[in-house]
Structure 1
Amino acid sequence: MKLKNILIVVKDIEKSRKFYHDLFGLEMILDNDGNMILTEGLVLQEEKYWKEFLGKEIIPKNNSFELYFEETDIEGFIEKLERYFPEVQYVNRLMTHSWGQKVTRFYDPDGNLIEVGTPM
Structure 2
Amino acid sequence: MKLGHIMIFINDMTKARWFYSELLGLQTLLEQENKLVFALDGCQLIAFKCEKTKEIGDYSNEARTVLVFEVVSVEQTYKELKEKGIQFLNDKPTHGRYAAFVDPFGNVHEIAESFG
Alignment TM-score, normalising by the size of structure 1: 0.76
Does the aligned pair in 2 maintain the 1:95–1:102 contact within 8 Å? yes
Q: Distance in 2 between matches of 1:84 and 1:19?
A: 10
Does the aligned pair in 1 maintain the 2:92–2:99 contact within 8 Å? yes
Q: Helix, strand or coil for the counterpart of 2:7?
A: strand
Q: Helix, strand or coil for the counterpart of 2:94?
A: strand
1:2 deviation in Å? Answer: 4.6
Pick the structure with greater CA Rg: 1
Alignment of 1:100-115 (within 5 A): 102-115=97-110
- Structure 2: give runs of 5+ residues left out of the alignment: 57-61
Distance 1:36 1:73, change over 3 A: same
Partner of 2:48: 45
Equivalent residue letter for 2:92: R
- Give 1 or 2: higher helix fraction: 1
Distance 1:47 1:89, change over 3 A: farther
Does the aligned pair in 1 maintain the 2:28–2:37 contact within 8 Å? yes
Partner of 1:60: 55
Does the aligned pair in 1 maintain the 2:54–2:107 contact within 8 Å? no
What root-mean-square deviation, in Å, do the aligned CA atoms of Structure 1 and Structure 2 show?
A: 2.1
Q: Distance in 1 between matches of 2:75 and 2:53?
A: 33
1:13 deviation in Å? Answer: 1.7
| Percent pairwise identity | 24
- Deviation readout 1:84-106 (Å, 9 max, x if unpaired): 115x141573021xxxx611011
Q: Helix, strand or coil for the counterpart of 1:25?
A: coil
